Chain A
Amino acid sequence: MRSASQATQILDDSVPGVSIEDHQMLMAKVADHGDRDAFKKLFLHFGPRVKTLMLKAGADQALAEDIVQDVMMTVWRKVHLYSPERGAVSTWVYTIARNARIDRLRRRSAQPYEDLDGLELASEEADGEAETFASQRSECVADAVADLPDEQRQIIEYAFVQDLSQSEIATRLALPLGTVKSRMRLAYAKLKGRLEVLQ
């Protein structure tokens, strides 16, 4: 582990009450004006969290730092591909980080994901109502994950944060694979259930 003295204090971004809309406003400034200050704020929020994700997935310090640079550079380059209709900025950054994890940690191809992004974009029309729904959806899902029963939340975190495969989760918890699958389905059904009030 890197000692605290080697790190800067730039990480103190714990600005209270940063909302989905705040991040979306920063993204719009980057997209419209190439606003570097807005980008810096996004970097200070997401950079350290993407690093945590990579460390928890098994990357060492140097690799995690490299991936943070790659992911955030992709955020800058592809900022026009983000649309509030897709949901929170954090969801979009997660998908970029996941793709980097697939390419660089799992040494597989994220190409199928990227093919799909292109298609999504081609079929989207701006729509204020859809944007509001997407923000609410992202927020509601994030809250609902926190409320899942422990045995379901743990499996979700193993998969999304620690990057464990389904069979690794089964081994770690000494559960049959089928039980891991059914707990995943239960968790997902619960999240979807919480969304019904939004429709």
Chain B
Amino acid sequence: MTVHHHLDDSTLLRYASGDLDDAFSTIVASHLAVCEDCRQALRVAEDIGGGLLDTEAPAPLAADALDRIMSGVTAKPLRTARPSQRTESSADVPIPLRRFIGDRLDGISWTTVAPGIRRHRISLDTPSSLYLLHIGPGKAVPEHGHGGAEMTLILSGAYRDALGRFGPGDIADLDEHVEHQPRVEPDEPCICVVATEAQTRFKGFFSRLLQPLVRI
């Protein structure tokens, strides 16, 4: 998979330090699962944590801490089988999304939310939301600014907007000020997963009117 649009560095650092909620950590992990470049970059970000851990002043442990751990480590650690590379080529869903939607994109159930736009919500216990969109060929998504940060990861098909072409594996990691109007390429539908921060404000009358209908 050739990926052209990657995670913002500040997002990588937030992921490495554990600052993303479940909606965003899931979409970021899903990009990482298909992008070797960002996985390498993540290691550098995690080295920051390792370096800081190593240089922390040690805190005194409770008197029984050593006994407690040593009494638990009697059995030799088991060499668990390395998980095999998933061989079934039919799986086209990134691993972190599989426990929500299964292995295959063609198994997802959709709800129509607007002409040519279908949605599948993933329910998470977070203020941010995570959902999949299935957008018809050639279809433009209504122009929208964001109430907060938004990320979109393309799973199949492609769209274009002012920032370029986004195909499978590409992630649009936008901050709240960016407005965009993606148009799906004419030949096939685009399936993407979207994480959005809780809406904190509304832009104006029309988006307020549209919000409950489309919520994208």
Contact = CB atoms under 8 A, between A and B. Distances in A.
B58 interface: yes
Contact of A161 (B52, B84, B95): B52
Contact of A51 (B55, B61, B85): B61
Interface in B73-95: 73, 75-80, 82-86, 95
Nearest to A13: B58
A102 interface: yes
Interface residue SS majority, chain A: helix
A79 interface: yes
A111 B45 CA distance: 19
Nearest to A56: B56
A159 B17 contact: yes
Contact of B49 (A95, A137, A143): A95
A34 B69 contact: no
Contacts of B28: 112
Given A65-B62, A121-B82, A47 B69 contact: yes
B46 A116 contact: no
B58 A109 contact: no
Contacts of B60: 2, 4, 6-8, 11, 48
B137 to A, nearest CB: 31
A8 B19 contact: no
Interface centre among B47, B52, B76 (most CB of A within 10 A): B47
A73 B50 contact: no
10 contacts: A31-B77, A40-B66, A43-B70, A76-B72, A92-B50, A94-B52, A137-B43, A142-B50, A165-B19, A182-B10
Interface of B: 8-10, 12-14, 16-19, 21-22, 25-26, 28-30, 32-33, 39, 41, 43-63, 65-66, 68-70, 72-73, 75-80, 82-86, 95-96, 99, 126, 175
